[in-house]
Every structure is written in structure tokens, then in C-alpha cells.
Chains A and B, each alone.
Chain A
């Protein structure tokens, strides 16, 4: 069998290092020994396949998971998943989770003094369509304090988990909102030096997907790693 084409290695300063002391939790959890460069074999370029049997058609609407309406501002979050060559990545599973409008997670670890919303669990999932499009209807999440440093607050964000066609495309990231004054103070958002890379984590307001008299639209495209054009021999 011919060696599969490897995935491209990350572009300089666009992916975080493990140790980033401004984000205090990295200090005891980042590997300290040298990493071993992994060749991309069949084990790395394949990935699990998910289908419509795995999710419910309603899983993309986080506002309709309980008998009542959740509190807060309804928003549409949509976009496309592409690879680095601009090709859509169809039929992949996206999972999201987030705080409610008051900045509180529905989770036992979150003890922030803000109300739980009994009508909002904050989790959703969809598959991308044939052109790589995805769409969620949800509530705009609130900002919330955390204990990383004095007076630390997380900017509003939605957690995204994506599978790709190959395991090397697996990505967990966070989507932010335009104009959030907390972004520049956030050690997660600022974990990479490249400002353009940071900017790509921020969604844009979008008239086209805004639903009149119902929900504002935010657009966010996600790019997964692309592949080298041809297999390279003895890549290390």
C-alpha cells in the first residue's frame, strides 16, 4: 500500500504550545520531556465516521431542549468547515457546549454565583452538510469570572469540538464574539502570538443569517489542517 499523504504541520505561531504560564493550569499539566515527531500513517489519516443515526435532528437547536424558553438573547451560529486548501469538510460531527446567558454552566464544578437556567443545558451537535455548512440556534453565552489571576473574566465563548476525515484534523477550540472587550486580557485567546490567528477565533455579525424579529446571526468558519500534495518519504 502506498504511504498516505501526511497532514501539514501547523504554521508558525498559529497553534499554542503546551506550556503557557499565563494560563496557570498548563504548568502542572504540560509535558516537559521532548515530544517525538509522529509520522502520519494510516492510523493518523483515518478517523471515525459519524452519521445521522448518531444524533437527533433537533440536536442543533439549544433553545428547544426543555419545556420552557431559555432566558437570554437567541442567536444563530453558522459557518463552514474547510480545510487549508479551502475545500469543504462534509459530514463531520461538531459538538458544542457553553454557559447560559448569565455566564453559568450547567455543571457541578461551576459554583459561580449566577443563576442556572432550567430551560438551558448548553449542549448541541450537528453534522456538516455536503458543502461543509453547519448551523446552531442557541443563546448568547454570558461572560464569567474564573480564578486564573486577580479579577480574571472569560470573554463570551462557545466551545467547539470537531472531527475531521483524518485523526490529525481533530480540533477542539472556542468561538468568540466580535467587539468583546475581555478578549485582549484572556490568556486563552492570547495563547498564540499571531494576531491573525487570534482574529480567526472571533465570529462576525452576519445580516444574512439574522432571522428578522427572532435571532441575530453570527458567522464563524473553521479551518482544519490540510494535506501535503504528495506523500513524502521518510518524513520525520
Chain B
């Protein structure tokens, strides 16, 4: 039996009505193991104008590199204290923010480890389907061997690596279109 996946449609301008109830900008409750990190950024369009109606979702492993999902064969018990999912709706300045922990390295293709990363999904008016990208952590030597980062043209890899902004604070901006366009994936 073979069905075809339902066609994606834009989230439209009124996403807050449906999605604001589950805004999760603080992912790691006190007691969750791992290195705390605050991530902030803005989304801008082709003209550099802030996008004030986007939903930014992150998905990540815990500090041991395990996903709280039954699809991770190593997840023996799902730790509800750390789900690994965040959702931030951009404000009038186009800004989103998360407070979370740095994930551990997770298994990648052919048994190679992937460097710590967040998978980032972005929805907004003007996108008929989501954008999928990744955030990597600065100054992490494992980035050099990451099998997914390695698929990205070297000159553009920097768009996927957050910038250090002081103690445990990172900045990661999303440029939708133009010279400094963020790398987006065909998923």
C-alpha cells in the first residue's frame, strides 16, 4: 500500500493562536545534567527586515547524546525531565531565544559520531514548507569531523555555528536569503 504524504501549507500569519500555548524557551529544568547555554538570535529576510511571525523549533539530545524518543534504541527510559524540544515564536524584533543544555555527541552515518548540534525547524508566513537547519557550538573540535557539516560547502559552514557572546551565551542569527544566507537543508 502506498499513499502520498499530505502537501505542506504555510503556517500563515496567525500561528500564535495555535502554537503559543506551548512556547518552550526553557528546556532544561533545574536538576537536568549538562552544561547550561542560552541561545539568542534574530531572523531577517532578503531585505534584512526582521521576521516577526516565525516559529522556531529545536530538537536535541541530552548531555549523553540520547534522544527522548522511542526511535532512539538507546533510550531505555524516557526522561520526561528533559524532552529536548523547544519552541520560540519570534517577537517584533524578529528575535527568538532558548535556554537549554549542550547536547552530547550522537551517532551518525556509518558509526561516525556527530558533533553536538540542535536540529532547527523554522515555520513562517511566506514559507510553504518548513526550513530545516542545524546549530553547532563554537570552539568544539568535533565540528571538524561532523559528517553533516562536512556536506556543507566550507565557505558557508560558519552560518551553522553559533557565536560566543560571553559566559554560556550564544548568538545564532538566521538570514533567509542573500549573501550571508544561512545554510538550509533539503530534508
Interface residues of A (CB under 8 A from B): 1, 3-4, 8, 10-11, 14-18, 20, 23, 25-33, 35-49, 54, 82-86, 95-98, 105-107, 109-110, 121-123, 125, 159, 161, 165-168, 170-174, 188, 191-192, 196-198, 200-201, 222-226, 233-234, 236
- Answer yes or no: B171 CB below 8 A from chain A CBs: no
- Cβ 8 A contact of B128, one of A23, A45, A83: A23
Assembly CA distance A236 to B114 (angstroms)? 16
Q: Contact: A38 with B17, CB < 8 Å?
A: no
Residue of A nearest to B186 (CB): A35
Q: Which of B6, B16, B18, B177 contacts A29 (CB 8 A)?
A: B177
Report the separation of the CA atoms of residues A161 and B22 in the bound assembly, to the nearest whole angstrom. Answer: 12
B69 close to A223 (CB less than 8 A): no
| Residues in A whose Cβ lies below 8 Å from that of B114 | 41, 43
Given contacts A36-B183, A191-B128, contact A29 B46 (CB under 8 A): yes
Contacts of B186 in A (CB 8 A): 35-38
Query: How distant is the Cα of A201 from the Cα of B46 in the complex, in angstroms?
Result: 30
| A43-B117 in contact given A31-B131, A109-B13, A188-B10 (Cβ < 8 Å) | yes
- 29 interchain pairs, CB-CB under 8 A: A11-B4, A14-B7, A18-B128, A25-B125, A26-B128, A29-B177, A30-B177, A31-B131, A31-B184, A37-B186, A42-B108, A45-B71, A47-B71, A49-B69, A82-B3, A85-B2, A86-B3, A121-B17, A123-B21, A167-B121, A172-B10, A188-B9, A191-B128, A200-B6, A201-B9, A223-B5, A224-B5, A226-B3, A234-B110
Which residue of B is nearest A20, CB measured? B128
> What residues on B are CB-neighbors of A40 within 8 Å?
187
Residues A41 and B71 in contact, CB atoms below 8 Å apart: no
Contact flag A47-B19 (CB < 8 Å), given A16-B129, A28-B176, A222-B6: no
Q: In the complex the two chains form, is A32's CB within 8 Å of B119's CB?
A: no
**Smallest Cβ distance from B50 to chain A, in angstroms?**
12
How many whole Å from A94's CB to the nearest CB in chain B?
Answer: 10
Residues of A close to B9: CB separation below 8 A? 16, 159, 172-174, 188, 191, 201
Which residue in B111, B119, B185 is a CB contact (below 8 Å) of A35? B185
Q: Which residue of A lies closest to B85 (CB)?
A: A48
Interface string of B61-100 (1 = CB under 8 A from A): 1000001111111100010000111000000000000000
Report which of A15, A17, A29 forms a contact with B124, defined as CB distance below 8 A: A29
Q: Is the Cβ of A33 less than 8 Å from the Cβ of B126?
A: no
